[in-house]
A and B are shown apart, each in its own frame.
Chain A
Amino acid sequence: MESIAVEMRDITKIFGHKAANDHVNFTLRRGTIHGLLGENGAGKTTLMNILYGLYKPEGGDIFLKGERVDIQSPEKAISLGIGMVHQHFMLANPLTVTENIMAGNFRKRQILLRKDQFRREVLELAERYKMKVDPDSYIWQNSVGEQQRIEILSVLFQDIDILILDEPTAVLTPSETDELFITLRELVDDGKSIVMITHKLDEILQVADEVTVLRDGKNVGCRKIDETVTKRDLSSMMIGYDIDLDLQSTHECTGDCIALSVKDLTVKNDKGLIALDHISFDIKEGEILGLAGVDGNGQKELCEALTGLRPVEAGQIYVKGDDFTGKNSKDFINAGVSFVPEDRRDVGLALDWNIANNLIIKEYGTDAFSSRGLLLRNKIKSHAKEMIERFDIRAIGEDALVKDLSGGNQQKVILARELNGLPSVLIANQPTRGVDINATMNIRREIIESSNNGTAVLLVSADLEEIIQVSDRIAVIYDGKIMGILPGRSSVAEIGPLMLGERMQRHDETASA
């Protein structure tokens, strides 16, 4: 009994008319890292929010060291030694690291705040778990990875035994992820127990001692991680059947015709600061250029500039050899430049509209869907039916509102619209973010398929695995500059340093590979 830190029995949580957790059992052993694996919407975060006292379950019991406990609030959870780091950090930007940690912990301290004492304790704690933190820096001066470290430190400050991390690596670069895992190991060696929520199979294999897999709100199994466990085992547990994880782009670059060419492009962001600083690259017909990089290094601005949605400060954009610098979004659309935007809920889709209308927002003025100004409802409807069939959009029909679809199906609606009619260029920004593994594979397959048909693709992704899997060449962006262009199938070790701003040597030679 002593070795079990937490046991959750028969937990049921219902949201509206759907069981997010359906009689789930979960056991966390002392001194282990326990992966909680599942697709989006499988109920991982819900289960942990129950343990942290944020949600009240409809049924089930929680046992802490063998004793039944009732956790009504996060305060109670913390007093029982349970801490949680959410996906979205709860740090105050204008304060320093020490001040933030004080703000989260002053309740149990003296009335008079002793900042120097706090500062010392923060340093001690950070050193103990090998975390590099500058206690006097302001939050905004820290990178996302550092902020996460601060958040973890702040939680550890509350003398917790059990640490819950919700998708901790989603915002990290590969090397930051490695550092995080080192810290997690230190914590476990110190006797703490960790639950790590994730949907990334690699991470489970890399760091977890045990894994519990959730599917549709149910526990589908728990396994010890050893050499015999493979990614395929985990993925089939996660989605219920086998899928092919080794997606290969099999196309050959037909012709040497350059479909999209960017020369010395400079673009400003919404704040008027330089977001892209003289970047240049070419994409050939039928080629997929992956753009790797940590979020917020100019990817969004690049995509907008390449689709006529953001003004160009300097440099040129050529589509199939024609100068498109300064053209508007309509011109780009007419030239066959398709765009899958990063923000599908706000930019790419009208959520309160049905699928049929969403599919034609770029084309409703053409002869295909209107005649003498009036819309041809029957054609719009049959087009929607065709697209739903072809792209396997799961919905009750073409009249279904897009907001009622799952993230993956929403993304399929966008892809159906953007890939229909063979675009000459496809700009895809984070096409699989927040999408479950099955839909992810389908989306990647569609992108490869379109490149096989001659579309030049710019694939922007923060997911290195995706970039490596799909791209013919890989460009790395950092702080608005291209750090280098690598051949396809480069390793994480080659790409990682560039993502952190180390400029590649001889990048001219490789660029033309």
Chain B
Amino acid sequence: MMKRRLRSSISTTWQTAVIVVAALLLGALFIAFAGESPLECYGVMLEGALGSMSRISEIMIKMVPLMIMALGVSIAFRAKLWNIGAEGQMIVGAITSAVVGLYIPLPPWLHMIIAPIFGMIGGALWAMIAGWLRVRFNANEVITTMMLNYVALYLLAYMVYGPMQEPGGYNYPQSSSMAESIQLTPLGAGLRVNTSVFVAIGVLILIILFWRSRFGFTVDLLGHGTKITNYAGLNANRTIIWTMMLSGALSGLVGWIEVYGVHFRLLEGIGAGFGDLAVVITLLGKMSPIGILFASFFISALLVGGATMQRMTAIPYSIVDIIQGLVIVLLITQPMIQQKLQARKARGIYVE
């Protein structure tokens, strides 16, 4: 059993690797087409991504939130609930956790427990709205979660221009900064990466265990349909709601990390397109925790390396967008290609 489990996780990780390599190869074509040397370009990118401690630290800064959000998205996706509102859930989590730091005086140690919990509750409730609309009105969660992203964006704008704006500031759309005692501690002098890395590791382990637990089984069962879920003696509607909440809670937790570990305050633009990236990572990682670990590393390295490349060479940053786009195209076409290959392989093997 253990062997088989290993084999199946290797095969999905392998799929992820194939897509990444194929995207990079196709990306090389585009780079050559633009008159640059692909080798040089990727060399600069690699150097830019992994060349120094501080760059690795930058990768971590991106990877921690992206991985946690993608793990959250994967919970909903495996239940066939297409929650693409991770960004909105993260924004609301950022707001609710910022409220704790700004307005509720607590001893720092207690604060470090309460603020992330508030973040998770914020994200969970935001996702719950979409879950409830689905259960009550059969509203498609793709639409509702996407719309709720905008609602969250404008709620954030209202907050940072309005009641939560920094008093006596220069009218920037941001809140006051958090007290140093409640910020996440950097892991080394001059590095931005902080203790949230341990949070991410903890979440990863928990999610791996989750898929081996009966709760994970329930979510997977829901992914096979509401009819069979009800038939198995579970309440599909209730399962939809708590699955969405769990999914949103992880994005809400990321809101806390961004406020207390990266920006040290609530500000407009805190979402930073993380929601869409999290969906790409979830799919690239084939919804498995280990796959998501690798996929989030790849995407983060691409982002950081691309930014350095833009600064150091004449090659435009758009290359990064092209590679990301290629990953998506390959993800979509992969099942068809795989089917063709399998059909060729399976000839002659038929079990009645």
Contact = CB atoms under 8 A, between A and B. Distances in A.
B217 interface: yes
Interface in A360-419: 361-362, 364-365, 370, 373-375, 377-378, 381, 394-396, 399-400, 404, 406
Nearest to A361: B232
Contacts of A348: 228, 231
Contacts of B215: 373
Given A347-B231, A406-B352, A375 B217 contact: yes
A396 B350 CA distance: 10
A381 B213 contact: no
A395 B220 CA distance: 23
Contact of A17 (B1, B224, B227, B347): B347
A374 B209 contact: yes
A394 B350 CA distance: 12
A421 interface: no
A140 interface: no
B224 A330 contact: no
Contacts of A364: 214, 217
Interface residues of B, number: 29
Interface string A313-349: 0000000000000001110111000010101001111
A248 to B, nearest CB: 29
Given A347-B227, A373-B214, A375-B217, A394 B351 contact: yes
A353 B224 contact: yes
A262 interface: no
Nearest to A370: B214
Contacts of A18: 350
B233 A375 contact: no
Contacts of A343: 227
A6 B232 CA distance: 51
A168 B230 CA distance: 35
B228 A350 contact: yes
B212 A350 contact: no
A252 interface: no
A357 B221 CA distance: 9
Contacts of A399: 4
Contacts of A307: 231
A352 interface: yes
A350 B231 contact: no
Nearest to B216: A375
Nearest to B224: A350
B108 interface: no
Contacts of A333: 233
Contact of B224 (A332, A352, A396): A352
Contacts of B233: 328-330, 332-334, 362
B217 to A, nearest CB: 5
Nearest to A409: B352
Query: Which of B220, B233, B352 counts the most chain A CB atoms within 10 A?
Result: B233
Interface in B293-352: 343, 346-352
Query: Which of B221, B225, B232 counts the most chain A CB atoms within 10 A?
Result: B232
Contacts of B214: 364-365, 370, 373-375
B348 A404 contact: no
B171 interface: no
Contacts of A349: 228
B351 A377 contact: no
Query: Which of A18, A348, A361 counts the most chain B CB atoms within 10 A?
Result: A361
A17 B351 CA distance: 11
Given A17-B346, A17-B347, A329 B230 contact: yes
A16 interface: yes
A398 to B, nearest CB: 10
Contacts of B221: 350, 361
Nearest to A399: B4
Nearest to A339: B231
B37 interface: no
B350 A374 contact: no
B213 A16 contact: no
A109 to B, nearest CB: 44
Contact of B213 (A332, A350, A374): A374
A404 B351 contact: yes
A377 B3 CA distance: 12
B175 to A, nearest CB: 39
Nearest to A378: B1
A374 B5 CA distance: 16
Given A357-B220, A370-B213, 8 more contacts: A17-B343, A329-B230, A346-B228, A350-B221, A361-B221, A365-B214, A370-B214, A374-B213
Q: Give the top 8 A-B pairs by smallest Cβ distance, nearest first.
A: A350-B224, A330-B233, A17-B347, A361-B232, A333-B233, A347-B227, A373-B213, A329-B233
20 contacts: A17-B347, A17-B348, A328-B235, A329-B231, A329-B232, A329-B233, A330-B233, A346-B228, A350-B221, A350-B225, A353-B224, A357-B217, A364-B214, A370-B214, A374-B213, A374-B214, A375-B214, A377-B212, A378-B1, A406-B352
